[in-house]
Amino acid sequence: MAADSPFRPEIVKGKVALLTGGASGIGYGISLELGKHGASIALMGRRKHIVDSAVSSLRSLGIPAIGFAGDVRNGEDAARAVEGTVKHFGRLDILVNAAAGNFLTPAEHLSPNGFKTVMDIDAVGTFTMCHEAVKYLKRGGEGRDPSDAGGAIINISATLHYTASWYQIHVSAAKAAVDSLTRSLALEWGTDYDIRVNGIAPGPIQDTAGVTKLVLPNITKQNHPLFRFGDKWDIAMSVLYLASDAGKFVNGTTMVVDGGQWLSKPRSLGKDQVKQLSKVVEKRSREAPVGVPKSKL
Ligand code: COA
How far is ligand 1, taken at its centre, from the CA of residue 118, in Å?
A: 7
94 strand-pairing partners:
17, 152
Q: What percent of the chain has pLDDT over 90?
A: 79
Q: Is the distance from CB of 97 to CB of 129 less than 8 angstroms?
A: yes
Q: 215: Cβ below 6 Å to ligand 1?
A: no
3-class SS at 161?
Answer: helix
Whether 262 has a pLDDT exceeding 60, the answer reads yes
Q: Count of CB atoms within 10 A of residue 282's CB?
A: 10
Whether 297 has a pLDDT exceeding 80, the answer reads no
Q: 117: Cβ below 6 Å to ligand 1?
A: yes
How far is ligand 1, taken at its centre, from the CA of residue 117, in Å?
A: 7
Q: 47: Cβ below 6 Å to ligand 1?
A: no
Looking at residue 268, what is its pLDDT?
83
Q: 113: Cβ below 6 Å to ligand 1?
A: yes
Helices (H), the chain: 25-36, 48-60, 75-89, 112-118, 125-137, 169-193, 209-214, 232-243, 271-287
Looking at residue 219, what is its pLDDT?
52
What CA–CA distance (Å, rounded) separates 137 from 150? 6
Looking at residue 222, what is its pLDDT?
59
Looking at residue 1, what is its pLDDT?
44
Atom of ligand 1 nearest to the CA of 118: 35
Q: 49: Cβ below 6 Å to ligand 1?
A: no
Q: 100: Cβ below 6 Å to ligand 1?
A: yes
Q: 111: Cβ below 6 Å to ligand 1?
A: yes
Pocket test residue of 24, 44, 103, 109 for ligand 1, highest count of atoms within 8 A of CB: 103
Q: Is the distance from CB of 66 to CB of 22 less than 8 angstroms?
A: no
41 strand-pairing partners:
17, 65
DSSP tag of 239: H
How far is ligand 1, taken at its centre, from the CA of residue 160, in Å?
A: 18
99-143, pLDDT tens digit by residue?
999 999 999 999 999 999 999 999 999 999 999 999 999 999 999
Average pLDDT over the chain reads: 93
Looking at residue 221, what is its pLDDT?
57
For atom 42 of ligand 1, the residue with the nearest CA is 101
What CA–CA distance (Å, rounded) separates 270 from 279? 14
Query: Residues 6 or more apart from 270 whose CB is under 8 A from it?
Result: none
What CA–CA distance (Å, rounded) separates 129 from 162? 25
How far is ligand 1, taken at its centre, from the CA of residue 97, in Å?
A: 19
Whether 182 has a pLDDT exceeding 60, the answer reads yes
Q: 57: Cβ below 6 Å to ligand 1?
A: no
Looking at residue 290, what is its pLDDT?
73
For atom 25 of ligand 1, the residue with the nearest CA is 114
Read off the pLDDT of each residue in 245-249 and give the average, rounded to a whole number.
96
Looking at residue 114, what is its pLDDT?
98
Q: 101: Cβ below 6 Å to ligand 1?
A: yes
Query: Residues 6 or more apart from 292 whose CB is under 8 A from it?
Result: none
